[in-house]
């Protein structure tokens, strides 16, 4: 599948500064490349950055099939089409699962891996409220405020509603539509159920950046991460939840950029 993407060229700070390589960012479920503009611009100081819309999200094509394996295959096709070799892959949530799957099944291909707030295991599809808040017909709605009020009947969390509405598009006719393939995602409820091969292990240089108060990461998960990744740095942002790149952006970027600076320094020594 040919994926939509945004490209942020390498902006070297000094004449002698070298690119660390291509950096690819994979969003989470219900997200898109639009969610990662600030992070992409910050990382473009280290290399060329691509933010990808995964299948059934953003401006990428819709499909009745949606799985971690298929999204990894889409990513491999993207690398081939754009002649990307040995990239650094950053994935959040669903994107983190895709990034880990790609790493497990393509040993030695990635230069480095960054995983945000997700562990290499199965997860339940606990998004009924999100799905229901987007399934009602949009015919007759003439403002985002009215749509938000209807969504609130199913999804009281204002932050999550605003996040979902980043994928709400207004057509030239004035009508609204979801860029997300809501029906398709509703049918893909096993997408996080045993997403990986039976044996998982990685020698890739890896950063896990976690929310200290996240419901997605347990003490057992941290042990699993330590057992799975042999070249691991793991940092936790106190009080942070699943969306630390939004809610704790300052701390998130400080940790992320420091890790990239460390990788860059290692290359130059």
| CATH at 11 | 3.40.50.1820
pLDDT on residue 161: 97
**Which of 203, 236, 231 is CA-nearest to residue 221?**
236
Of 155, 186, 217, which marks where a domain is finished?
186
Q: Tell whether 157 and 221 lie within a shared domain.
A: no
Instruction: Average the pLDDT over 180-188 and give the result.
Output: 97
- Structurally, the chain folds into a number of domains equal to 2
pLDDT tens digits, 67-121: 999 999 999 999 999 999 999 999 999 999 999 999 999 999 999 999 999 999 9
Looking at the predicted structure, is the pLDDT value of residue 15 above 70?
A: no
The mean pLDDT value of the chain amounts to: 96
Q: Tell whether 110 and 230 lie within a shared domain.
A: yes
The parent domain of residue 177 ranges over: 128-186
Instruction: Average the pLDDT over 147-171 and give the result.
Output: 97
Looking at the predicted structure, is the pLDDT value of residue 17 above 90?
A: no
- Its pTM stands at 0.96
Of 137, 156, 186, which marks where a domain is finished?
186
Torsion of CA 108, 51, 159, 66, to 10 degrees: -70
Instruction: Average the pLDDT over 15-27 and give the result.
Output: 90
Q: Tell whether 157 and 200 lie within a shared domain.
A: no
Q: Tell whether 109 and 210 lie within a shared domain.
A: yes
Beta strands at 168-170 and 176-178: parallel, antiparallel or unpaired:
antiparallel
Of 139, 170, 186, which marks where a domain is finished?
186
């Amino acid at each position: 599948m040919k994926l939509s993407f945004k490209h942020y060229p390498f902006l070297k700070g000094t004449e002698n500064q070298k690119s660390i390589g291509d950096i690819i960012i994979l969003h989470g479920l219900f997200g898109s490349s639009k969610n990662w503009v600030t992070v992409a611009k910050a990382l473009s100081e280290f290399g060329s950055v691509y933010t990808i819309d995964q299948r059934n999200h953003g401006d990428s094509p819709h499909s009745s099939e949606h799985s971690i394996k298929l999204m990894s295959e889409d990513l491999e096709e993207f690398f081939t089409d754009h002649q990307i070799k040995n990239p650094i892959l950053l994935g959040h949530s669903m994107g983190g699962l895709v990034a880990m799957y790609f790493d497990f099944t393509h040993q030695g291909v990635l230069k480095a891996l960054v995983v945000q707030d997700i562990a290499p295991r199965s997860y339940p599809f606990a998004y009924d409220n999100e799905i229901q808040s987007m399934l009602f017909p949009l015919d007759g709605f003439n403002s985002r405020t009215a749509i938000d009020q209807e969504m609130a009947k199913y999804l009281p969390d204002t932050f999550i509603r605003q996040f979902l509405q980043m994928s709400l598009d207004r057509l030239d006719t004035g009508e609204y539509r979801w860029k997300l393939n809501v029906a398709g995602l509703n049918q893909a409820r096993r997408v996080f159920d045993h997403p990986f091969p039976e044996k998982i292990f990685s020698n890739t240089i890896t950063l896990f950046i976690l929310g200290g108060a996240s419901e997605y990461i347990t003490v057992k998960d941290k042990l699993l991460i330590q057992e799975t990744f042999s070249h691991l740095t793991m940092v936790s942002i106190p009080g942070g939840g699943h969306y630390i790149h939004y809610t704790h952006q300052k701390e998130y970027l400080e940790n992320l950029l420091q890790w990239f600076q460390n990788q860059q320094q290692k290359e130059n020594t």
